[in-house]
Amino acid sequence: MNSLLATVDPLYNHGVTWAVVLIVVIRVVAAFAVLMGSVIIMIWFERKAISDMQSRIGPQRWGPFGLLQTLADGAKLFFKEDLIPAGANRLVFKLAPYLVLIPALITFAIVPVGGTLHIAGHPVLLQVANPPVGILLMLAMSGISVYGVMLAGWASGSKYPLMSSVRASAQMISYEAALGMTIVTIILVTGSLSTHDIVISQGQGIWHWNLIRLGIVPFVVFIIAITAELNRPPFDVVEADSELVGGFHTEYSSLRFALFYLAEFMNTITMSAMMVTLFLGGPAGWVPNVAHLRWLFPIAWFVVKTVGFAFAYVWFRAALPRFRYDQVMDLGWKRLIPLSLGWMIVVAGFLVAPAWGFAMAAVVLVAWILLTRAFELGYTRERGVDSPLPVVGERPLPGEVLRAITDREAQ
């Protein structure tokens, strides 16, 4: 554990020299360039993949395979008129896009992209920063980006964006709890908050990846919760275009809209990278013994895994229908939070001793039975035993019941 803690970020050691500052500046610029470049590719990739799944061609005009379509869109947005609605709260309206963009940029800073390099005698971690709070920075930043979405919707001074911002705040807060508890299980196993340590502790092979080491459950909870945090389909009730026009950014145009768009795709990439970091060992993988190129393979592994998750997000969007708002809340509060809490307790038990682990599993099982019974009682008490309306989400749906009643009356 001490060897892990020894590789702290040089910024946190006292006695900062110009070399250290230069390395930090280079890392920041490089990370920014990589993120921007990957956003351009990600937008193209998403549009191309979605069109393939929907039997369309997709972007094709600009550049080979339509690769420059994103740049063309960017140039168009840049020259569009920037509108601020008359009923808008001008200060907050202008502030909101940055509150989404800046957390998206900062979160990428803690993702370990590769192993440790040695440049001119300085050990260089291939991540912008390795702060002691580590993974908590991600939670903090996702907490801040809620404000961007919320205030954008509110400051527009328009009905649909306001509804969207109320939905956004409720949804993101609800899923943050489940997200936090799965992260706690990872921290328990690692014994450190730092993303660098989390990656190192998974480095001894595929059986040490958190995906397998913690059981599959935390990973499943995490991927669902993070999709909800990102407001991506199937959890995009916040910008549901069939209900809310465009959601919180309905009233935004030109560059301000581009910032929201940019932040959304940046977050998608960062969260794919974060899942790789937390559950798939980050840059861990098979490294062949090639002279001078050994450092390249961890980066390649990292990119391959991240692209896998990025594709999964596109796939979700093409394949899954959007959740209803009440289903989103139901899944978050009644299923994911109890599940992640129970799993965390069991993992903590097994970390102390197997006997404790099984005891905790028994406790969680009893709690689960009680909770199921409580939900059942709650439903019957709320709706009445002989209510014609069924439990939410079960067939027949309320609309079908009404249809049956009107049909019966018509006869």
Binding status of residue 12 toward other proteins by CB under 8 A: yes
> Tokens 């980066």 — which residue?
299
CA 323-223-265 angle, to 5 degrees, is 80
> Which range touches other proteins (CB under 8 A), out of 130-138, 219-227, 263-271, 335-343?
130-138
CA atoms lying within 13 Å on the CB side of residue 46: 21
Which residue lies nearer to other proteins by CB, 131 or 281?
A: 131
> Which range touches other proteins (CB under 8 A), out of 66-74, 134-142, 215-223, 298-306?
134-142
Pick the binder of other proteins from 58, 63, 74, 143 (CB under 8 A).
143
> Which range touches other proteins (CB under 8 A), out of 53-61, 118-126, 192-200, 266-274?
192-200
- 3-state SS of 277-313 is HHHCCCCCCCCCCCCCCCCHHHHHHHHHHHHHHHHHH
Q: How far apart (Å, rounded) are the C-alpha atoms in residues 4 and 372? A: 43
Binding status of residue 147 toward other proteins by CB under 8 A: yes
* 100 in Cβ contact with 263 (< 8 Å): yes
* Closest of 388, 406, 409, 386 to residue 397, by C-alpha: 388
> Tokens 């465009």 — which residue?
246
Which residue lies nearer to other proteins by CB, 47 or 249?
A: 249
Which residue lies nearer to other proteins by CB, 66 or 148?
A: 148
Binding status of residue 377 toward other proteins by CB under 8 A: no
Binding status of residue 170 toward other proteins by CB under 8 A: yes
Cα pseudo-dihedral 266, 122, 136, 236, rounded to 10: 10
Which residue lies nearer to other proteins by CB, 147 or 309?
A: 147
Which residue lies nearer to other proteins by CB, 133 or 300?
A: 133
* 295 in Cβ contact with 114 (< 8 Å): yes
Residues forming the site for other proteins (CB under 8 A): 5, 8, 12, 89, 91-92, 131-134, 136-137, 139-140, 142-144, 146-147, 150-151, 154, 162, 165-166, 169-170, 172-173, 176, 180, 192-194, 197
